[in-house]
Amino acid sequence: EKKSREKRGNVPGGVNEIDLNDLKDESHPLHDLVRESLAGLSEKENGASYSFVRINSATKQVVAGMLYKVNLDVKDSNAKEVQCNLRIWERAWLNPSKEIDFDCNNSKKFKFTRARRSVDDAEQPHPVLVGGPTPIDVDNDDKVKELVRNSLVSFNEQDGNSFELHRIVAATKKVVAGVLYEIKAEFRSTGESKEIVTCNLSVWERPWLKVDNSQTDVACDNAKKYKFTRSRRSVDAEQPHPVLGGPTPIDVEKDEKVKNLVQNSLVSFNSKDGNSFELHRIVEATKKIVQGVLYEIKVEFRSTGDSKEVVTCNLSVWERPWLKEESSQTDVSCNNDKKYTFRAKRSLIYDHRRRAEDDEDEQRQLMNQRDTLARHEALFHKFQLKFGRAYHSSMEKSLRFRIFQNNLAKIEQLNEREQGTAKYGITQFADLTPSEYRMKTGLWRREFDENHISNPIAEIPNIKLPKSFDWRDKNAVSEVKNQGSCGSCWAFSVTGNIEGLYAIKTGQLEEFSEQELVDCDTIDGGCAGGLPDNAYKAIEQLGGLEYESEYPYRARKSECHLNKTMVHVKVKGAVDLPKNETAMQQWLVQNGPISIGINANAMQFYRGGVSHPWRPLCRHGNLDHGVLIVGYGVSEYPLFNKTLPYWIVKNSWGPKWGEQGYYRVFRGDNTCGVSEMASSAVLA
């Protein structure tokens, strides 16, 4: 039974290893934390210099904040290589926000804190390597989506595969001899198995090659590997991705500018040598930014005479609008060996009034763009000052500014879509891509074993529900506690449940020991995480729980010191609640607080109000935190004819977090997975 329970995957508060392959990317958020820690270590040793060599292993864990543990090699001032264990406890809502411990094999140990830094005071991080990988916002980059779709088509042509895109996880690009894209994606089988395979795509694009200008290597976790090549496509086919400084294809069917240029050229063409031609077809066109804009257009002109001769001409139109004289130069070369050059100050088709109107429209658009850019730059500057952002280089700063601009658009979209009372704004994550943000917040997938032995389903009473209910008002909920840097949320969730049941049964509110579970529960992982249903079983096997005062909390795993003569409450099993929030309400009112697992992604920067996150931000399947439901209620807004039902959730991150340690989350649509793992002990 123990084995089947341990197979349930990533557990609430559990330790999650960080892939060393991901850490090869210098832009990985952990590198910033390591560099900041080394800078602090150097300051602690009176200016001694420590330089980064390599990371050997790393883990992260959702505790009251985020806990990173890193084994790394560094060089000291004498260039001697030293191995250190680095522990970083990050709590973004506090100042100082980081607690850092170094324990090195040269017998040196240091402990210090780091506050948020101003731009002026921040030490400069390690510079970005020229030619190094640049992170890509996979949610907004159409090029990456196109590459993945193309790769999936080729992937499905191999071995009878039938997969669809499940998720693009992360992507980088690097300028080599061309552009190299490294993309991590998940493909899902379209068959009954719904198998999900994780694949690493390496796409090397060299657009100047006529044959095999795109090479894709695919390596998947089902041990399958493939290699595909793609040749250059015609302009009529899907347009290739433009190269910076190179020609950009133009849709000749829709581009009015190209049509105007061709008409102007045709007028000048017919003024030479008695020509009399009309436009037959625009074949293709490109434009390139040079000193101005250079248009290369391939057209067919047809004679208006009896011959109806069709000649193919290449038009090269060079526009430099800042020149008063000869602002446009057109070279025409045709397959009847005729060549012409024309120069013009103004359009030969549009009159001066139309051109003036167009100029006014362009000026208005330009001014709006400049106003928006200035506003974004001002917001970005304030963001840097507030959160102490100091970037590696001007290139990194430019990249972060573009991501920041994209996130401003997302913030606007989130506020438009928010269904609760939460407001979204610029946070410390405003310069991160979605994949980087997920890395910071620890959003993990949680999988369940089919062979897991479930608890019996709780009997739901058929009672009429009050509009609101709160066990805090009935002296069945203890004070908010703080799990600290130990991943013991599961233990706090379970003791909170038992405290409530015991208070309702006896009329006495007591606090029971989480530390007993951390030390003595051999089914769960102590500070490395656990599951409530495992904890219920462990309490039954241990014989019960001592009081908190008798076995106090230390936020670290130690030897078990349980005194069975001091046990005050016993458990004889557990029940699972249905995944139905009305049934959960009925059970809560009749019996007591409920232990649940929840996706903590929306909780890290929660300040108050009814939280109803946009579903993609807080998916119900990714449970990583154990908490306690103690009641429910409804917020009413008569002016807007709107009501917001919510759960009252007790957290274990101390009373300074959230609403005095509590979280109000929307009730009724399984927000953040509140009904996915609801359970309770059964007292003996």
Q: What is the DSSP string of 66-110?
A: EEEEEEEEEE-TT--EEEEEEEEEE-TTSSS-EEEEEEETTS-EE
| Cβ-Cβ contacts under 8 Å for 99 (sequence gap 6 or more) | 88, 89, 91, 111, 113, 485
Residue 418: pLDDT over 70: no
Q: Which residue has the higher pLDDT, 212 or 397?
A: 397
Least confident of 203-212, 244-253, 432-441: 432-441
Q: Tens digits of per-residue pLDDT, 502-544?
A: 999 999 999 999 999 999 999 888 888 889 989 999 999 999 9
User: What is the arithmetic mean of pLDDT over 115-143?
Assistant: 57
Instruction: Centre a 10 Å sphere on the Cβ of residue 385 and count the other Cβ atoms it contains.
Output: 12
Q: What's the mean pLDDT in 148-155? A: 82
Query: Which domains are seen in the chain, by residue range?
Result: 15-114 (3.10.450.10), 133-230 (3.10.450.10), 249-344 (3.10.450.10), 437-683 (3.90.70.10)
Cα–Cα–Cα angle for 364, 365, 367, nearest 5°?
Answer: 65
Residue 601 among the catalytic residues: no
For residues 17 and 29, give the distance between their C-alpha atoms in angstroms, rounded to a whole number: 15
Q: How confident is the model at residue 291 (pLDDT cuts 50, 70, 90)?
A: low
561 alpha-carbon distance from chain centroid: 42
Whether this model's pTM surpasses 0.85: no
Report which of 183, 186, 165 is spatially closest to residue 173, judged by C-alpha positions. Answer: 183
pLDDT of the residue at 159: 66
Q: What is the pLDDT of residue 682?
A: 97
Give the separation between CA 606 and CA 422, rounded to whole angstroms.
9
What is the reported pLDDT for 413?
A: 63
How far apart (Å, rounded) are the C-alpha atoms in residues 208 and 204? 12
Q: How confident is the model at residue 152 (pLDDT cuts 50, 70, 90)?
A: confident
Backbone φ and ψ for 630, nearest 5 degrees, come out as -115, -10
Q: What is the pLDDT of residues 438-455, one digit of tens each?
A: 443 322 333 445 555 679
Could you give the CA distance from residue 377 to residue 365 in angstroms, rounded to a whole number?
A: 18
* Residue of 84, 392, 651, 672 with catalytic role: 651
Interacting residues of 149 by C-beta distance below 8 A, sequence separation 6+: 165
Give every CB contact of residue 448 below 8 A, 6+ residues apart in sequence: 8, 9
| Distance from C-alpha of 364 to C-alpha of 360, rounded to nearest angstrom | 6
Location of structure tokens 């130990």: 486
- Cis amide leading into 613 (omega within 30): no
- Order of strands, sheet of 339-344, starting from the edge strand that comes earlier in the sequence: 248-249, 277-290, 292-303, 310-319, 328-334, 339-344
Check if 651 is active-site. Answer: yes
CA distance 390 to 117: 9
Positive/negative CA dihedral, 421, 425, 428, 429: positive
pLDDT at site 239: 41
Q: In 3-state terms, what secondary structure has residue 385? A: helix
Q: Which residues contact 55 (CB under 8 A, 6 or more apart)?
A: 20, 23, 30, 34, 70, 71, 72
Reduce the DSSP state of residue 669 to 3 states and report it.
coil
Q: What is the pLDDT of residue 505?
A: 97
Please report the pLDDT score of residue 212 as a whole number. Answer: 64
71 neighbors 99 (Cβ within 8 angstroms):
no
User: Is the predicted pLDDT of residue 346 greater than 50, yes or no?
Assistant: no
In 418-559, where does DSSP find H-type helix?
434-441, 489-506, 514-520, 532-542
Q: What are phi and psi of 614, to 5 degrees?
A: -55, 125
Beta bridge partners of 290: 292
Three-state DSSP class for residue 138: coil
Q: How confident is the model at residue 669 (pLDDT cuts 50, 70, 90)?
A: very high
What's the token pair of residue 567? 């046990």
Model confidence at 384, in pLDDT bands (50, 70, 90)? very high
pLDDT for 230 equals: 58
**Mean predicted confidence (pLDDT) in 212-222:** 81
**Residue pair 678/596 in contact by the 8 Å Cβ criterion:** yes
- The whole-angstrom separation of Cα 391 and Cα 23 is 18
d(CA 429, CA 433): 8
Among the listed residues 11, 15, 117, 97, the one whose alpha carbon sits nearest the alpha carbon of residue 656: 97
What single string gives the DSSP state of each residue in 606-664? Answer: --SSEE---GGGS-TT---EEEEEEEEEEEEEGGGTEEEEEEEEE-SB-TTSTBTTEEE
Token pair 């060079």 is found at 318
Long-range contacts of residues 336-341, Cβ cutoff 8 Å, at least 24 apart:
336/311, 338/272, 338/273, 338/311, 340/268, 340/269, 340/272
E strand or H helix that includes residue 372: helix 352-387
Instruction: Tell me, yes or no, if 489 is annotated catalytic.
Output: yes
- Token pair recorded at residue 559: 């030897």
Measuring CA to CA, which residue among 631, 614, 601, 388 is closest to residue 496? 631
So what's the pLDDT on residue 34?
A: 87
3-state secondary structure of 216: strand
**What is the model's pLDDT at position 209?**
65
Residue 312 falls in which region: left (phi positive, over 0), alpha (psi -120 to 50) or beta: beta
> What are phi and psi for residue 667, nearest 5 degrees?
-115, 130
Considering only CA atoms, which of 521, 527, 522 is closest in space to residue 556?
527
**Mean pLDDT, residues 163-187:** 84
User: Which one-letter amino acid corresponds to residue 464?
Assistant: K
For the beta carbon of residue 313, count every other beta carbon within 10 angstroms.
23
Region 108-124: mean pLDDT is 55
Per-residue pLDDT at 580 exceeds 90: yes
- Tell me the one-letter amino acid at 304: T
CA 319, 320, 324, 327: dihedral to nearest 10 degrees? -20
Structure confidence at residue 290 (pLDDT): 67
What stretches of 80-226 show up as alpha helix (H) in DSSP? 142-156
- The active-site residue, picked from 84, 104, 220, 489, is 489
Identify the pLDDT of residue 75. Answer: 84
